[in-house]
Structure 1
């Protein structure tokens, strides 16, 4: 059976390795636990070994990702109205990809906390209408340290544009580099739009927990500067 889900981690010696993640472990704490190391490259093929290591720190399992591409208003109930999003990871460079071929360029899926600084975003004179500006501060866009490897498409019932359609659109005239993370949009429940007004806006030291089925949970504490 091939590896379906994996994490990246640093061991006690400081080495970076990969470990398989079972469906029963996606919500547990793995730091300090023993791991059977996976060999090879996540972009090619991961295989099981007999090597053991102790997990000291969880890491995002791919090399540093420089490119995040965001899709807005891709969930029906969000259009009608704290942001958690399903993310798609590109496995190889993709340009001018057809919808029928798009899923061949998907490595897997993970979850992300779509942090937005609304105090900079809403005043038009500050953001100039550029929402990406308020989503790109240091420490924003935390991503879960595991990836679900799957052949086919993962989506939620409320998505307007499928993953294949999104990849086709984003790759028109633009190369999606290997390792690019596509953020598919936020479902309903945006804090800014909760009633009464401002009740959903985050405060200093608030803890945000986001869970995506089959992928797991990401938890972040908001620390204001």
Structure 2
């Protein structure tokens, strides 16, 4: 099932996306509390504005999780998943602008598969991990590389450079887990102004989705509605010669097989 969060008649709704892509069958109930608490009705509503598929409980992110991205970054393969966290102000909708902050000139794109957790996860085994997944969506882990990397700006603590307003677009829909039995067999891309910048497969993850859930849940309780951004492949802007930074007037697209296309314009703050 493809689930969207949207505005219709000035009111926020959840719905099952219909084939026309312009309307959705209304869902009653609460999505992240489990399938038993929500039902799909027969009422079709027009989609006037598409929102992020959910408002996450927490935004957990994994760095250096693709072998070729670690290589282009000049980094060693980590022994354990590298966790950082984006703050709630980063949440952004499909088609809403990514703003270039006044205090950064090195804003980069990162296409990422986003895992949505559907029930409380603590000490979950690898074998059972995918049973905790509600579904998947696309994410763009937008990053101010100067704030992420430069020591004088606090570089080395990823959260600051990753947590400017609007730096976490999600969407366009949530695809339920039953439609993606193997999340580590998906092609993903970033397209900037019509040019493909990243084009790889989730099969290159160092720690696959079950391994991430097992590892994270071993040290924290992962609450329903938490999203996990699973890392980005090679082709990011800072690793290019010369570097490619997003700028006002750009359009950036993240595409993931079986999920869809997350598009955002880029504007100045």
TM-score range, shorter chain: 0.7 to 0.9
CA deviation profile, 1:5-60 (whole Å, cap 9, x unmatched) = 211111114242312355xx6xxxx4xx3433233432333543221222111122
* Bigger fraction of residues in strand: 2
2:65 corresponds to which of 61, 64, 74: 74
Of residues 146-155 and 92-101 in structure 1, the stretch that sits farther from structure 2 once superposed is 146-155
1:210 corresponds to which of 249, 254, 265: 254
Partner of 2:182: 153
Hey, what's the Cα distance between the residues in 2 that align with 1:116 and 1:101?
32
* Secondary structure in structure 1 of the residue aligned to 2:47: strand
Structure-2 change in CA distance of 1:72 and 1:126 (3 Å): same
Structure-2 change in CA distance of 1:13 and 1:118 (3 Å): closer
Give TM-score scaled by structure 2 length.
Answer: 0.73
Hey, what's the Cα distance between the residues in 1 that align with 2:224 and 2:4?
18
1:130 corresponds to which of 157, 178, 183: 157
Partner of 2:191: none
Hey, what's the Cα distance between the residues in 2 that align with 1:143 and 1:20?
16
Hey, what's the Cα distance between the residues in 2 that align with 1:145 and 1:212?
10
Structure-2 change in CA distance of 1:34 and 1:68 (3 Å): closer
Hey, what's the Cα distance between the residues in 2 that align with 1:34 and 1:129?
44
2:145 corresponds to which of 112, 118, 126: 118
Hey, what's the Cα distance between the residues in 2 that align with 1:5 and 1:106?
14
Partner of 1:8: 5
Aligned-pair distance for 1:61? 2.9
2:49 corresponds to which of 46, 52, 57: 57
Partner of 1:17: 14
Contact 2:116 2:136 in 1 (8 A): yes
Structure-2 change in CA distance of 1:179 and 1:34 (3 Å): closer
Give TM-score scaled by structure 1 length.
Answer: 0.86
Which runs of no fewer than 5 residues in structure 1 stay unpaired? none
Is 1:164 aligned to residue 164 of structure 2?
Answer: no
Aligned residues between the structures: 211
Aligned-pair distance for 1:128? 3.7
Contact 1:20 1:38 in 2 (8 A): no
How much is the aligned-residue C-alpha RMSD, in angstroms? 1.8
Hey, what's the Cα distance between the residues in 1 that align with 2:12 and 2:252?
30
* Bigger fraction of residues in helix: 2
- The 4+ residue runs of structure 1 with deviation greater than 6 A are none
Partner of 1:186: 232
Structure-2 change in CA distance of 1:166 and 1:97 (3 Å): same
Contact 1:35 1:53 in 2 (8 A): yes
CA deviation profile, 1:131-150 (whole Å, cap 9, x unmatched) = 12111111111111311102
Contact 1:8 1:19 in 2 (8 A): no
